[in-house]
Structure 1
Amino acid sequence: MENSSTSASASLEATHVESSGDCTRLLESLRNLGFGESELGRSNHGSTSPSPFQWWRYINDNNNNNNTSLSIALAAKEARSSSSIHPIPPVQPSPINATETSTASTSLVNHYNLAHGRTNMLLGAALVNNHHQIPSHMGQDYYSTNYQEGQEERIPSTMQGQSNLVWLAKTEKGSKYLQALLLENDPEITRMVLKRVFEHMVDLMSDQHGQYLFQTLLGICDIAQLDLIVRKVTSQSPLLVRAATTKYGSISIQKLIRRLKKMDLVECVTSVLYANFFQLMTDRIGRMAIKECAEYLDSRQNEVLYEAVIWNVIELATDPVGCISLNDCIECMIGSQRERLLARISDESVRLSRHPSGNFVVQNVLKLEVPSINEKICKRLRGNYARLSQVKSGSHLVEKCLRCSWGMDSFVQEMKSEKGALQKLARDKFGNYVVQRALELSKEHFTSHHEYLLTALGPCLSSLQQSTYGKHVFCKITQDGAAKLL
C-alpha cells in the first residue's frame, strides 16, 4: 500500500514537471517556507496535511490561468498551519472533484463558489477560520446566527494577532472579491465580514485597497451596523485624525460623511473633527473632510464646526492652507453664523489685507458683494490703497475695491490727499494695473472721478510714455480717446 501511494505521488510529480516548469520553483518555494521532504509528496502515506502537489492539482483543475509557485506554496503553508482544516483531500489516482472533499470543504465550495480560483478558496477559508473575538460592546447574540453548527473559531498559528480577512482586504484581488460578496446583499455575509474587520476599521480606511471594502460596507450595512462602525472609528480619534490626513483615509471619511448626511449620527464625526479643527483645516488633505461637511451637511449639523471657524478666523486667514479652507467655509455658510464671520473679517480687513494669505480671504469676501460688508471694508482700507497697490496681492485687492462706489470714492480721496501718489502708482510695476482699472471703471460708472484721474495724469503723460510700466497707463488713456490732454 505504501509503495502504491509513493508511486502515485511520484507519478503526479513527474506529470507536473513535464507539463509545467513552475513545479521546480514550487518545490524550491516550499523548502524555503520550511517544508520537509516528507511533506513534499515523496512519502505522503499517513500524512494529515495536503501535499503541495494536491494543491497544485486542485488549483490547476479550477484556475489554469492564475497560479504561481509562490502563491501555491503559501497556500500549502496555510493549510499545514491549521491541522483540523483540510481544504484538499488526500491525493488519489483519479481527478479531484468537489464530491471527494470533506463535508466542511464542500459546504465552503458551494457557499463561496470556490471553483473560481485559489484566491476565492483561501478567502472562503478565511471567512470560516479567521478568528477575532466579538467586541464586548456588540454582544455575543449579535453574531449568534453567523455560523453553522460545528464551525468553531480557531486562530491559525500563522496569523496570530492579525486577521486573514483584513490581510485579504488590503490586496487588490481580495478587496474586489470581498466587495463582490457584500454586494450579494446577504445579511449573513455582511455580518461575518463586518465582524472580521471591525477592530481594523480605521486601518482599512487608510489603505489603498481596503478603503473600497470600507466604502462598500457603508453602502450595504443596516442602521445598527452603521452605528457600530461610526462609534468604533470615532472612538479612535487619534487614528481617525491621522487617517484624515492621508489620501485614502480622507476619501473614506468623506464617503462616511455623505452616508450620514441625514442622520444625527454624523455628530459623532463632526465632534472628532471639531476637537482637531485647526490641525485639519491647515492640512492640505485633512481640510477635505471639513470641506465635505460644509458642502453636504446642513447648518445645524455644521454648527459646532462653524463656531470653530469664527473663533479661529484670523489664524486660519493667515495660514497658506487655512485661508483656502476658510474661503470654502465662507461660501457654504448661511444665516447668523455667516454674518458673524464676515463681520469679524471686515473688522480685521486692514490687518488681513497686508498679509499674503489674509489678503486672499478679504478678496473672496468682496466677491460676495454683500453691500454692508463691502462698504465697511472699503472705508477701513482708506489710507492703505497706495501701499497695497504696490504689492502684487494688494493690487488685486484694490482692483476689487474699485468695483463698488465706496472703494472708488476712498481710492480717489486718498490720491487727492497725497501729492504725486497717483503718478507714482502709474509708474509702478503693480500700481499701473490699479490705475488702468480705475480709469476703466470710472469712465463707465463714476464720471467725476474719471475726470479727476485724467486731469491729474495729464501733465505727466509724456514721461509716462517713456516709463517701463507707465507706458501701459499712457496707452490706456490714448485708447480711450483722451489724447487731447497731451
Structure 2
Amino acid sequence: MDRDTFSDSRRARHFGRSNQNSLSFNNFARSENHRRNLRDTYLSETSSSEYYNTSFSPMNTRNSPAIPSYFDESSTDLSHQLNGFHLDDYNRKMLGTSASSLADSNYLRSNRLSSLPSWALDENREIRCDLTLRKVVEEGLVLSFSMDKSGCHFLQSNYFGENTQNVDPYIRDRVSREVLGSKEVFLTICKNIFGNFFLQRVIEYSTPLEQETIKKYIVSDITALCLDKSACRVVQTALEKLEPRFADAIVAAIPRKNRLMSICTDQNANHVIQKIIKKMPLKKWEFLVIYLCKQEHDNLLDICQDKYGCRVVQTIVEVLSEEAINKIEAEEKTRALRRLMSKILAKCAKLASNEFANYVIQHIIETPGILSDYRNAIIETCLLRNLLSMSQEKYASHVIERAFVYAPLSHIIEMMEEIFDGYVPHPETGKDALDILMFHQFGNYVVQRMLQICVDAVTGQRDTHINGIDFRHKFENWLAKLYVRARREKSRLNRFSSGKKILDILQSMEGYVPTATSFDLHSPFPQVDDVLAAFCPSSLFSPSATTTSNDWTSRTTSISSEPHFDYDFNFNNYQKF
C-alpha cells in the first residue's frame, strides 16, 4: 500500500505505525498505564469491578465450575436466576484471548445448553422453527433468549423491524416489563455480548414512559456503561433514539473531572464521546473544550497523544469547522474553535512529532475553509525554520508532507527556499539539507513530494501566480537543482526504491524536452545552467506524462542514512560540491 493510501485510511490512522522508536513507545506505555490507573480508581470507588472482571487474569487456568441445568422457573429470586446464566464465567471465557477456538466453541455450546431449555431447541441444538414469541414470553424466557446468539436473533426477527406493528400489545408489554422491570436486569443485558443488540432495538421502539426508565438506568451507572465494550453501544443508541430531554440528561451525567480523561482515552468510551459531539448541540458538550483547554493541566496533550483520544480531539475540530445553521451557532463555534486552536498551536511541535497526535495536525492542515488560517499559523509558527529536523522524524515528516501539499503558494515557496537555500553546508563534508534528506529513511519522502510539486508547477498542473506575478521560474530552478543532484548521486539512489522513484520522475521529464539537450543517465552530470537551458521553455513539457502523487512508494523500505549534523540557518553557498 502506498503512503498516501495508508495515511488516508481511518483504521491505519491508529493501528498502522508498528515500527515505533523507543521514545514514542515509552510515552505510549506511560499513557496506557495512566489511563488504566484512572479506570481502576473508578472501579474501586464504585465497587463495580464485577462488570469488568478486573480480578481475572488471562493466565488463570482454574477449571470452571460445573454448569448446572437451567434455573428453576418457579423461583422468584432474581439473583438466583441471573446466576443461572454464569455471566462471569462467560465473560472470563470471552476475555481469555489465548484460549483455542475449539475451546471457545465448546464453551458457547455448553452455555446455550444451560441458558435455553431443551424443549426450545431442535436436534441440532438450534432454536425450533415452530417456536413462537408468545411461547417464549409466557415461559418467562425473554431474558435468557436475549443473551443467547440465536435467541437474540429470534427476538429481533419476531418482535422488531417489519413485525413490530403486528405484535400483540400484551406481548409487547410483557417484553417491556421483562427487560425494563429491574435495573439489575437492564444493566446485565447492556453488558452482554448478544443482549446489547436486543436492548438497542428495545430503545429504538420505546415509548416516552419507557424512555424515562431507560434514561434513569443509564444515568445511574453511566461511566461503567461507557467503558464496557457492549454497553457503550447501548449508550450511543440511547443518545440517538431517545427524546432530546432524556439524551440531554445522559450527557449531563458524564463526569466532568478526573474520570473524563479515562472516558476520552478508552477504546470503547471514546465512541460515546464522539457520538455526543456529532449529535448534540455545542452547548451540551462545550465542557469538553473547556477541559482540553485548562491552563494548569496538559489535558489536550495527554488526550491527543493517546491512540483513541486523538480521534476525540479530531472529531471536535471537524464539528467546530462545519458550517453553522444560524448566526448564533456560528459565533459559538468560532469562539470554541479559537479557544481550542490557541491551545493546539501552543503545543504544535509536540503534537506533530507524536505517533497519534500528528493526525490532528494533519487534519487541520488539509481541511479548507475556516481552518485555513490555522493551517497557515501552524506552518509559520511551527514548521518554518524547523523543516530539516522535522523531516527526519518518523511522524513529523508526515506533517511536513501534508504542508507541502495543502499550503498556499506563498508558504510553499518559503518552505522550498528553506530546504534549498536555508542551511549552510557542513564545513567538512560539504553536505547540505538536500543531501541529508535525499538519503534519509523518512526525509526522502519529503524530497519526493518537493520534486512532484516542482514537476506539477513546471508542467502547468499547479498554479504559480501570486497577485498576478508568475513564480514558475523558481520551480524550474529548484527542479534543475534536484536534477543535478540526482545525476550526481545516481549510483547511490539506484540502491534504494525511494531513490529509484526520484530518478524515474526525472527520467519521465527528460522525455518531454525534444528540442533541448538530452542527458543520458551515464553521461557526466551537467551544470545547473545546462539543465535550466534544457528545461526551458516550460511549454515543452506535457502534463499527461508526469508521475502523479498517488505513485509514492511505501515507507517500509529501510534506507541507511548519512550521519546527521546541525546546520546554521542562512545557507548562502549552494553550489559548493
**Coarse TM-score class (shorter-chain normalised):** 0.5 to 0.7
Show the counterpart of 1:374. Answer: 375
TM-score scaled by length of structure 1: 0.61
Show the counterpart of 1:348. Answer: 347
Taking a change above 3 Å as real, the CA distance of residues 215 and 452 of structure 1, as seen in their structure-2 partners, is same
Point out the structure with the larger helix share. Answer: 1
Aligned partner letter, 1:259 = K
Show the counterpart of 1:265. Answer: 246
Deviation of 1:385 (Å): 0.8
Taking a change above 3 Å as real, the CA distance of residues 284 and 309 of structure 1, as seen in their structure-2 partners, is same
Show the counterpart of 1:204. Answer: 189
Taking a change above 3 Å as real, the CA distance of residues 256 and 384 of structure 1, as seen in their structure-2 partners, is same
Distance 1:371 1:279 in 2: 32
Show the counterpart of 1:280. Answer: 263
Deviation of 1:368 (Å): 0.9
Task: Point out the more displaced range, 430-439 or 307-316.
Answer: 307-316
Task: Point out the more displaced range, 365-374 or 193-202.
Answer: 193-202
Deviation of 1:191 (Å): 5.0
Taking a change above 3 Å as real, the CA distance of residues 339 and 406 of structure 1, as seen in their structure-2 partners, is farther
Show the counterpart of 1:214. Answer: 199
Any conservation in 2 of the 1:294–1:302 contact (CA below 8 Å)? Answer: yes
Deviations 1:60-86 (A, max 9, x none): xxxxxxxxxxxxx859x646x69xxxx
Considering only CA atoms, is the larger Rg found in Structure 1 or Structure 2?
Answer: 1
Show the counterpart of 1:314. Answer: 301
Any conservation in 1 of the 2:223–2:254 contact (CA below 8 Å)? Answer: no
Any conservation in 2 of the 1:205–1:214 contact (CA below 8 Å)? Answer: yes
Distance 2:139 2:441 in 1: 72
Any conservation in 2 of the 1:202–1:239 contact (CA below 8 Å)? Answer: no
Show the counterpart of 1:251. Answer: 233
* 1:83-162 equivalent positions in 2, closer than 5 A: 117=131, 121=135, 123-126=137-140
Deviation of 1:192 (Å): 2.7
Percent identical:
17
Deviations 1:272-311 (A, max 9, x none): 4454432232222222112222232232333333444555
Q: What is the aligned length?
A: 340
Taking a change above 3 Å as real, the CA distance of residues 410 and 185 of structure 1, as seen in their structure-2 partners, is farther
Q: Secondary structure at the match of 2:303?
A: helix
Deviation of 1:449 (Å): 3.4
Deviation of 1:410 (Å): 3.2
Any conservation in 2 of the 1:428–1:470 contact (CA below 8 Å)? Answer: no
RCO (CA 8 Å, sep 6+): is it higher in 1 or 2? 2
Aligned partner letter, 2:238 = L
Any conservation in 2 of the 1:352–1:358 contact (CA below 8 Å)? Answer: yes
| Equivalent in 397, 410, 414 of residue 410 of structure 1 | 414
TM-score scaled by length of structure 2: 0.52
* 1:351-362 equivalent positions in 2, closer than 5 A: 351-362=350-361
Distance 1:407 1:350 in 2: 18
Aligned partner letter, 2:395 = S
Aligned partner letter, 2:232 = S
- Residue 423 (1) aligns with residue 428 (2): no
Distance 1:288 1:120 in 2: 36
Distance 2:224 2:361 in 1: 35
Deviations 1:417-438 (A, max 9, x none): 2031123222323323222322
Deviations 1:126-148 (A, max 9, x none): 3xxxxxxxxxxxxxxxxxxxxxx
Distance 2:222 2:396 in 1: 40
Q: Secondary structure at the match of 2:441?
A: coil
**5+ residue gaps in structure 1?**
1-72, 83-114, 127-163
Distance 1:379 1:350 in 2: 12
Taking a change above 3 Å as real, the CA distance of residues 78 and 264 of structure 1, as seen in their structure-2 partners, is closer
Show the counterpart of 2:508. Answer: 479
Distance 1:177 1:425 in 2: 61
| Equivalent in 449, 457, 475 of residue 437 of structure 1 | 449
Show the counterpart of 1:394. Answer: 396
Distance 1:195 1:460 in 2: 73
**5+ residue gaps in structure 2?**
1-68, 77-128, 322-332, 425-431, 465-470, 514-518, 520-529, 535-577
